[in-house]
Amino acid sequence: MADTKEAKREGDGQGSQTSSVLEAGTRAPEFSLRAAPDRSLTLSELRGHPVIVAFYPADWSPVCSDQMALYNEILPEFAEYGAQLVGISVDGAWCHKAFSQSRNLRFDLLADFEPKGAVSHAYGAYRKADGFSERALFVIDANGVIRWSYLSPVGVNPGADGIINALTALTDEQRGQPSAAEATRSSSGSSARNDSSARSSDSSATQSDISAR
Amino acid sequence: MSDGILSPPVSERDHTSGPASAPVTLVEYGDYECPYCGQAYPIVKAAQRKLGKRLRFVFRNFPLSEAHPHARHAAEAAEAAADQGKFWEMHDALFENQNALEDDQLVATARRLGLDAERIAAALEAGTYAQRVREDFRSGVRSGVNGTPTFFINGRRYDGPWADERTFISALENAAKAARVKA
């Protein structure tokens, strides 16, 4: 039922498999995952603020470490938008803990561990043949609706500009500057998987939610 | 993902080496404590020698300070040196001494370069250049920097290899040719 979009994978050395990540306009599937050996985090607990969800293949692999280290540095920028970042991979909570400590990470890494990859799969971000998550990004608004998603070639660090653009568009929209949001949207080109009709239909809900806070 | 477009474009605010009229502008987002940036340093030098006046080189700060605890102060020290007219001397000295980036070593390096080292020490203490460094970092995030070093050739992110000097220089040569055709 969820909107999906086919995206070609490149550069993963495995030919032209395709994957389908959930698109903008889709309600973000709820999840509750271990954020630490003794603590769980539920997506709906984060309502009221934008949430950035970064699926990635594995703790410790070089590209992931770079990407997570980069996001760690960018946390202050994300915080300016009131956004919270979570990383998700199929690694277990103890593995996440060791990885996080070694990289001094200041955001939660969630363990999509049991049933393995179930949340990644729900977001269309699971590589079944490999048994790990895609490198995929989602920006979810304060109401729990996906507003931007991106599937990266698995071997490429996608940076954070797409996330920042999406957060900027959300903020502009909240401030009642649809034209600025529109501009960001159209300039983000084919790489940003936005569904403008879905966006405009739930923007009023977002605005009313924001003003109620 | 990104469009990989340098934002903001190179301006008077930047530290540049080479003529503004050069057909190729190479921008590096770098971190003085990053070993890969250290590896790229002589390659950029070689490119500058090879292209001569056809190349303008720009350095912007992208300190990954959680991973590299000395990177931010090293960047601030280079900015402080810039205010005394010796940005590139300090930039080079930092990359040539990546194991000497403690605060007292930064100040010693500044002194060796004939700079007012006490002023630089005070600026590090006060965080005088912290905001300038952060502005560079933020522009890098918006431009699609995804690690260090990240290069932009004529405003577009260069995703090709840089560790191989010949490949890197030929990418710059190609950009020079393309710019000439356009002009």
Tell me whether residue A205 is in a domain. no
With both helix axes pointing from N to C terminus, report the angle between A62-80 and A161-174 in degrees, rounded to the nearest 10: 20
**CATH code, domain carrying A81:** 3.40.30.10
- Shortest CA distance from A149: residue in chain B: B1
Tell me whether residue A42 is in a domain. yes
State whether A104 and B67 contact (CB < 8 Å): yes
Give the predicted TM-score (pTM) of the model.
0.81
Question: In the CATH scheme, what architecture does the domain B15-182 have?
Answer: 3-Layer(aba) Sandwich (3.40)
Summarize the confidence of residues B142-164 as an average pLDDT. 94
Tell me whether residue A197 is in a domain. no
**Cβ-Cβ contacts under 8 Å, A80 against chain B:** none
DSSP assignment of A101-115, as one string? HHHT--SEEEE-TTT
Tell me whether residue A8 is in a domain. yes
The alpha carbons of chain B give a radius of gyration, in whole angstroms, of: 16
A19-77 tens-digit pLDDT: 699 999 999 999 999 999 999 999 999 999 999 999 999 999 877 668 999 999 999 99
Residue B154 Cα, gap to closest chain A Cα (Å): 19
State whether A191 and B67 contact (CB < 8 Å): no
Cα B40 to Cα A165: distance, rounded to the nearest angstrom: 29
Q: Can you name the residues that pair with A41 across neighbouring β-strands?
A: A33
Q: Is the ipTM of this complex over 0.90?
A: no
Measured from the Cβ of residue A197, the count of other Cβ atoms closer than 10 Å reads 9
B138-152 tens-digit pLDDT: 999 999 999 999 999
The count of domains in chain A is 1
The predicted pLDDT at position A181 comes to 43
Alpha helix segments (H runs only) across chain B: 35-51, 71-83, 87-96, 103-112, 117-126, 130-143, 165-182
A121-159 tens-digit pLDDT: 999 999 999 999 999 999 999 999 999 999 999 888 899
**A6: pLDDT strictly greater than 80:** no
Please give the residue range of the domain that contains residue A171: 4-189
Give domain limits for chain B.
Answer: 15-182
Tell me whether residue A199 is in a domain. no
**Cβ-Cβ contacts under 8 Å, B147 against chain A:** 66, 70, 157
**Cβ-Cβ contacts under 8 Å, A189 against chain B:** 3
Tell me whether residue A142 is in a domain. yes
pLDDT band of residue A7 (cuts 50, 70, 90) is very low
Cα B65 to Cα A70: distance, rounded to the nearest angstrom: 10
Summarize the confidence of residues B153-177 as an average pLDDT. 95
The alpha carbons of chain A give a radius of gyration, in whole angstroms, of: 16
